[in-house]
Amino acid sequence: MAETLFSKIIRGEIPCDKVYEDDTSLAFRDINPQGPTHILVIPKAEIEDVSQVEEGSGLMDHQIAVANQIAKDEGIAEEGYRLVINKGANGGQSVDHLHVHLIGGRQLTWPPG
């Protein structure tokens, strides 16, 4: 996998507004938020996109559990929030490192665009 912005953030070479970190995941506020709360949850492992997640790895279970806990911590769990995973250019993926968008804090519209 090619070096990405997220690789540098994981290594601490680029600062981020961190909201969560454990041995396998990092979560931080998006620099271009699409809602009052917009947090990215990323695996520390170099995984380019969701199509590379191995069945049974538990990776996505953990990413979603982290996002759900952050939603509670941010006070948006009761009203609702959206989890988004983009894949590839046509899917809107702008950084080639798997990431889950946690977006909330306002009424979200559908379809997303």
Could you list the active site residues? Answer: 99
- β-partners of residue 26 are 21, 42
Omega prior to 111 cis, within 30 of 0: yes
Q: Looking up tokens 């929030």, which residue turns up?
A: 81
CB environment 1-21: b (16+ within 10 A), e (fewer): eeebebbebbeeeeebeebee
CA of 3: how far to CAs of 56, 96, 101, in Å?
A: 26, 9, 20
